[in-house]
């Protein structure tokens, strides 16, 4: 009976947090929104007014459907609710359409579908071990985790100000992670394959998933020292997994295969015509590479080594493809190779070392970070893919908490340029400050300290923030070099993200030793 009351009390604070964050999201309804708002409006229109066979061919608006079919079905479902708000938003048209009812509906749709995310958070909180049953709720790891996930700064601004459905998708990811942690592998696999068919960006973390499932589910036994027992492979389990994945994929892509539209669908899903980097460089290895190229070019011009060739402004936004001047240009194949190389050790580790849920999460984070660092045309929002799973680790281990603090600060700060309107400036500073203060204070309470280097780096981040958000835009430099703040931000953050990538590798290596010893 006492267990029940404890659970009821736990549910009490969780509901309060969830209601609080949902109401907070409602306050952003009238805030700035990006073109993604129109993108999703257009998808609602496409899926509502066209037959399935036309979905991936429609191109009246420039915002064509480029998510996998399940997401299109999701929009189809939404459009039937949206019909009752404003019929006009379901008309396909070239010019952006907006009305109060559309705004309300779209914002509410994000807030409501975030229920999946809230559910996932609750599942994750249940997986967190409560070694020290401290009486104060505020110090409990599950409470800290709930706040870190629900009030995640990145998700708040990307979903509820910038406008996207990441919360909904991340919900699936975390839910499947939680299922795996609870050893309900089939449910986890089902959720993950649904997720892959909702948004294919999650292919980034698929290697970790595949290997983990193979290792922990398909192989039923380990040797006594924790090594993999090759002979314990269970064909039944393997085929069950395969069946689930194939079924989900068949439901989603089946109709398009039947109609022979696969090449068209794939060309929409993987547009390699876009450039190496997004208009605003995501803070990854290529940002560093581009910056080095720029620096070398400028240096070369000064020294007269390079002729003054055509100067493509790499950050010009509209320029889709560009060529490096001083360093060799990068092709998609190279990025693919680099990503594979970055991920490979983590995946191999997961395979050879004893099964362990923490190392699964670390491999997941590594896959996300590896592809973020080396991927082709990476979006800065993709860093959330690493930050969210890492928060689950952060409340449980001292070392990961340190990494989380660095990565969350860097990654979240790198999202700042997404919201550039003056009215939202105080909002993003305040939200970021609140999140950082909470994460630093609560995680420090649980354990973990940053080393001096990291502390200096984070102080520097504050300086960069002030410089590029306040000083540079107000000074005269901004007229001559309009992209300097962005360049500064992405280069500085890239260093931090890369550092975290290496640190997570270190923590992955160390976990396994610990488990072996025990």
Partner 1 sequence: AAKPPMFGDYEAQRHWQEVTYSLPLQQYFNTSDNDLNYWGLDYPPLTAYHSLLCAYAKAINPEWVELHKSRGYESYAHKLFMRATLVADLLIYLPAVVLYCLYLSDGSPRKKVSVLLCTLLYPGLILIDYGHFGRYNGVSLGLALWAILALGLGWDALGSMFFCLALSYKQMELYHALPFFCYLLGKCFKQGSVGKLFLLVRISLAVLLTLALCWLPFLTDPSLAVQVLRRIFPVARGLFEDKVANAWCSLNVFIKIRSIMSSDSQVYLLPSSLRLLTKPTFWQFKLALVNSSLAFFLFSYQVHEKSILLASPACLLLNDLPLIAIWLLQTSTFMLPLFLKDDLWAPYCVTSVAFLYFSVYLLSPLKRCTEEELRMGAYRKILFCLPKLDLGCVVRWKFYISVLAMAALSVASVTMSPPPHLPDLFPVLISTFAFLHFLGTFLYFNIVQFSEPQRNKAQKKIN
- Whether the Cβ atoms of residue 501 and residue 385 lie closer than 8 Å to each other: no
Give dist(CA 325, CA 518) in Å, integer. Answer: 54
Pick out residues in 448-467 that bind partner 1 (CB under 8 A): none
Give dist(CA 211, CA 346) in Å, integer. Answer: 10
Contact pattern for partner 1 over residues 230 through 259, marking x by CB under 8 A? ------------------------------
We find the least distance from the C-beta atom of residue 137 to partner 1, in angstroms, to be 9
Element (H, E) at 85: none
Choices 24-32, 74-82, 299-307, 386-394; region in contact with partner 1 by CB under 8 A: 24-32
- Within 10 angstroms of residue 108's Cβ, the number of other Cβ atoms is 16
DSSP character string of 380-448? GGGGHHHHHHHHHHHTT-HHHHHHHHHHHHHHHHTTGGG---GGGHHHHHHHHHHHHHHHHHHHHHHS-
Kindly tell me which residue out of 6, 7, 9, 19 binds partner 1, with binding defined by CB under 8 A.
19
**CA-only gyration radius of the chain, Å:** 23
Per the DSSP assignment, residues forming a β-bridge with 219 are 233
Q: Which is nearer to partner 1, 12 or 242 (by Cβ)?
A: 12
312 binds partner 1 (CB under 8 A): no
Pick out residues in 26-55 that bind partner 1 (CB under 8 A): 26-27, 29-30
Measured CA to CA in angstroms, residue 277 lies from 296, 335, 418, 490 at distances of 19, 11, 15, 11
Pick out residues in 73-132 that bind partner 1 (CB under 8 A): 104
Q: Which is nearer to partner 1, 100 or 321 (by Cβ)?
A: 100
Per the DSSP assignment, residues forming a β-bridge with 378 are 277
475 binds partner 1 (CB under 8 A): no
We find the least distance from the C-beta atom of residue 218 to partner 1, in angstroms, to be 46
> What's the DSSP call for residue 481?
-
- Whether the Cβ atoms of residue 159 and residue 179 lie closer than 8 Å to each other: no
Choices 25-33, 289-297, 321-329, 358-366; region in contact with partner 1 by CB under 8 A: 25-33
Task: State the first-to-last Cα distance of the chain, in angstroms, to the nearest integer.
Answer: 35
> What's the DSSP call for residue 517?
H
Q: Which is nearer to partner 1, 19 or 81 (by Cβ)?
A: 19
Q: Which is nearer to partner 1, 51 or 426 (by Cβ)?
A: 426
- Within 10 angstroms of residue 188's Cβ, the number of other Cβ atoms is 23
Give dist(CA 287, CA 487) in Å, integer. Answer: 8
Q: Which is nearer to partner 1, 295 or 434 (by Cβ)?
A: 434
Give the residue among 361, 357, 384 at the shortest CA–CA distance from 202: 384
Q: Which residues of 353-390 are buried (b: 16+ CB within 10 A; e: fewer)?
A: bbbbbbbbbbbbbbbbbbbbbbbbbbbbbbbbbbbbbb
Choices 19-27, 351-359, 376-384, 429-437; region in contact with partner 1 by CB under 8 A: 19-27
Binding footprint of partner 1, residue count (CB under 8 A): 12
We find the least distance from the C-beta atom of residue 235 to partner 1, in angstroms, to be 52
Choices 14-22, 117-125, 221-229, 289-297; region in contact with partner 1 by CB under 8 A: 14-22
Show the tokens assigned to 87. 């019929």
We find the least distance from the C-beta atom of residue 426 to partner 1, in angstroms, to be 8
We find the least distance from the C-beta atom of residue 26 to partner 1, in angstroms, to be 4
Contact pattern for partner 1 over residues 330 through 369, marking x by CB under 8 A? ----------------------------------------
Give dist(CA 487, CA 466) in Å, integer. Answer: 14
Kindly tell me which residue out of 6, 11, 20, 313 binds partner 1, with binding defined by CB under 8 A.
20
Q: Which is nearer to partner 1, 25 or 324 (by Cβ)?
A: 25
We find the least distance from the C-beta atom of residue 420 to partner 1, in angstroms, to be 14
Give dist(CA 153, CA 25) in Å, integer. Answer: 12
Q: Which is nearer to partner 1, 31 or 292 (by Cβ)?
A: 31
We find the least distance from the C-beta atom of residue 155 to partner 1, in angstroms, to be 19
- Whether the Cβ atoms of residue 350 and residue 206 lie closer than 8 Å to each other: no
Is residue 488 classed exposed, middle or buried when 0-12, 13-18 and 19+ CB atoms within 10 A define those classes?
A: middle
We find the least distance from the C-beta atom of residue 29 to partner 1, in angstroms, to be 6
Q: Which is nearer to partner 1, 137 or 348 (by Cβ)?
A: 137
We find the least distance from the C-beta atom of residue 108 to partner 1, in angstroms, to be 10
Choices 20-28, 43-51, 87-95, 496-504; region in contact with partner 1 by CB under 8 A: 20-28
We find the least distance from the C-beta atom of residue 42 to partner 1, in angstroms, to be 24
12 binds partner 1 (CB under 8 A): yes
Distant-in-sequence, close-in-space partners of 425: CB < 8 Å, separation ≥ 6: 419, 469
We find the least distance from the C-beta atom of residue 424 to partner 1, in angstroms, to be 10
Contact pattern for partner 1 over residues 389 through 428, marking x by CB under 8 A? ---------------------------------xx-----
Q: Which positions lie near partner 1, rule CB under 8 A?
A: 12, 16, 19-20, 23, 26-27, 29-30, 104, 422-423
């Amino acid at each position: 009976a006492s267990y029940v009351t404890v659970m009821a009390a736990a549910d009490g604070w969780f509901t309060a947090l969830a209601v609080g964050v949902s109401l907070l999201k409602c306050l952003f309804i009238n805030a700035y929104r990006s073109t993604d708002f129109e993108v999703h409006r257009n998808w609602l229109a496409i899926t509502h007014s066209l037959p399935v066979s036309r979905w991936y061919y429609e191109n009246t608006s420039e915002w064509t459907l480029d998510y996998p079919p399940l997401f299109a079905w999701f929009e189809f479902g939404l459009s039937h609710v949206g019909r009752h708000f404003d019929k006009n938003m379901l008309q396909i048209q070239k010019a952006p359409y907006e009305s109060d009812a559309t705004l309300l509906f779209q914002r509410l749709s994000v807030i409501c579908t975030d229920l999946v995310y809230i559910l996932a958070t609750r599942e994750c909180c249940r997986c967190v071990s409560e070694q020290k049953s401290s009486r104060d709720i505020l110090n409990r790891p599950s409470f800290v985790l709930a706040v870190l996930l629900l009030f995640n700064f990145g998700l708040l601004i990307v979903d509820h100000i910038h406008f996207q459905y990441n919360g909904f998708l991340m919900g699936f990811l975390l839910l499947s992670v939680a299922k795996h942690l609870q050893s309900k592998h089939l449910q986890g696999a089902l959720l993950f394959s649904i997720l892959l068919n909702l948004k294919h960006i999650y292919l980034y973390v698929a290697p970790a998933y595949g290997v983990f499932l193979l290792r922990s589910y398909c192989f039923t036994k380990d040797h006594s020292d924790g090594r993999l027992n090759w002979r314990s492979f269970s064909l039944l389990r393997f085929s069950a997994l395969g069946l689930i994945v194939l079924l989900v994929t068949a439901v989603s892509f089946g109709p398009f295969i039947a109609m022979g539209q696969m090449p068209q669908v794939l060309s929409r899903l993987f547009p390699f015509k876009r450039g190496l980097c997004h208009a605003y460089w995501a803070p990854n290895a290529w940002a560093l590479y581009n910056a080095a190229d720029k620096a070398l070019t400028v240096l070369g011009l000064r020294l007269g080594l390079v002729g003054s060739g055509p100067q493509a402004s790499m950050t010009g936004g509209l320029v889709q493809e560009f060529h490096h001047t001083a360093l060799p240009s990068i092709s998609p194949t190279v990025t693919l190779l680099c990503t594979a190389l970055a991920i490979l050790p983590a995946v191999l580790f997961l395979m050879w070392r004893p099964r362990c849920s923490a190392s699964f999460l670390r491999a997941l984070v590594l896959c996300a970070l590896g592809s973020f660092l080396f991927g082709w045309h990476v979006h800065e929002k993709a860093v959330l893919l690493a930050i969210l799973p890492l928060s689950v680790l952060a409340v449980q281990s001292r070392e990961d908490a340190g990494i989380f603090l660095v990565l969350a600060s860097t990654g979240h700060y790198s999202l700042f340029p997404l919201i550039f309107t003056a009215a939202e400036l105080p909002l993003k500073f305040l939200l970021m400050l609140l999140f950082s203060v909470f994460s630093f204070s609560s995680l420090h309470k649980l354990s973990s300290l940053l080393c001096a280097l990291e502390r200096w780096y984070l102080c520097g981040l504050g300086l960069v923030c002030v410089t590029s958000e306040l000083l540079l835009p107000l000074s005269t430099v901004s007229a001559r070099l309009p992209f300097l703040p962005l360049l500064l931000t992405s280069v500085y953050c890239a260093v931090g993200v890369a550092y975290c990538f290496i640190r997570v590798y270190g923590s992955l290596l160390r976990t396994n030793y610990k488990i072996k010893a025990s």
